[in-house]
């Protein structure tokens, strides 16, 4: 009967267009046009002061540049997204370009980072060098030899790695080396104050747990904010300006906390942390 065929056809179309609970709802944190939603903090300058147009958008990419600097003078910078996160997957596509700023530190050649679990950017001291954070260190190859990316560094923090508290500043990943100016997709899976995984090319290259305040490698901060041993279950995300030009063409996030009731309209099968108050029926 024609009406039955039409009904089945319409149902099939609706089924194709309907959103599955497994569909991943990635949100673009960088719009590719301007720095809306992002606030710079450069060492020696007030929050929001983008000295020398350090952070800018050119041809759809967020760039760091140092044309106005002269000697770099340890003016490390970070650009913060406007809201904190706790359970999520974060992905960026980045590449290193050009030459390092004048008198940039030797260790900062083709070096940048994604800073996670930071206190609010307004708490940073004017002369603070790095936010208290978990740093997903991004490194580019220098043309010869091996130089892994998506390492871990810990300004004002420690983590548990292989069942032991790690207090050294950096832990190397198992990634391959990325030479030249190729784009690299880096992903981090963050589960509050439990497990954090670094992923590149779809492979987990580093995993640790229990991110917490502690250790050293941060200067100019408010000492009352750094509570030794305090677990970090969330915080702000920032991208780093560390003296070598770097570009980010994509910054996107997938929230992993939400309604886990399977009958709710906004249920997602990939959520790992339940937030019952968000359920919509």
3-class SS letters over the chain? CHHHHHHHHHHHHHHHHCCCCCCCCCEECCCCCCCCCEEEEECCCCCCCCHHHCEEEECCEEEECCCCCCCCCCCCEEEEECCCECEEEEEEEEEECCCCCCCCCHHHCCEEEEEEEECCHHHCCCCCCCCCCEEEEEECCCCCCCCECCEEECCCEEEEECCEEECCCEECCCCCECCCCCCEEEEEEEECCCEEEEEECCEEEEEEEEEEECCCCCCCCCCCCCCCCCECCCEEEEEEECCCCEEEEEEEEEECEECCCCCCCCCCCCCCEECHHHCCC
23-278 is classed CATH 2.60.120.560 = yes
Sketch the domain layout of the chain as residue ranges: 23-278
> Whole-number mean pLDDT of the chain?
93
pLDDT in tens, 47-98: 999 999 999 999 999 999 999 999 999 999 999 999 999 999 999 999 999 9
pLDDT in tens, 222-253: 999 999 999 999 999 999 999 999 999 999 99
Question: What pLDDT shows up at residue 18?
Answer: 59
pTM of the model: 0.92
More confident residue, 9 or 107: 107
């Amino acid at each position: 009967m024609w009406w039955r065929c039409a009904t089945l056809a319409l149902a099939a179309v609706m089924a194709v267009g309907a959103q599955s609970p497994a569909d991943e709802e990635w949100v673009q944190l960088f719009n590719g046009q301007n720095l809306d939603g992002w606030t710079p903090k450069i060492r020696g300058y007030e929050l929001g002061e983008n000295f020398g147009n350090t952070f800018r958008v050119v041809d759809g990419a967020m760039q760091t540049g140092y044309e106005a600097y002269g000697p770099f003078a340890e003016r490390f910078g970070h650009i913060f997204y406007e809201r904190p996160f706790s359970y999520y997957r974060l992905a960026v596509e980045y590449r290193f370009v050009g030459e390092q700023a004048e008198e940039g530190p030797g260790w900062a050649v083709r070096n940048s980072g994604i800073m996670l679990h930071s206190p609010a950017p307004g708490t940073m001291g004017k002369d603070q060098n790095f936010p208290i954070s978990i740093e997903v260190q991004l490194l580019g190859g220098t043309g010869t030899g091996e130089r892994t990316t998506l390492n871990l560094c810990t300004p004002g923090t420690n983590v548990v790695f292989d069942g032991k508290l790690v207090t050294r500043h950096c832990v190397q990943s198992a990634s391959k080396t990325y030479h030249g100016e190729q784009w690299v997709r880096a992903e981090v899976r963050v589960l509050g104050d439990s497990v954090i995984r670094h992923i590149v090319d779809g492979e987990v290259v580093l995993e640790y747990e229990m991110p917490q305040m502690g250790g050293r490698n941060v200067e100019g901060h408010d000492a009352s904010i750094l509570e030794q041993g305090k677990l970090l279950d969330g915080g702000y995300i920032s991208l780093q300006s560390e003296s070598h030009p770097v570009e980010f063409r994509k910054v996107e996030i997938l929230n992993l906390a939400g309604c886990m009731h399977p009958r709710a309209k906004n249920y997602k099968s990939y959520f790992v942390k339940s937030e019952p108050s968000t359920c919509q029926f």
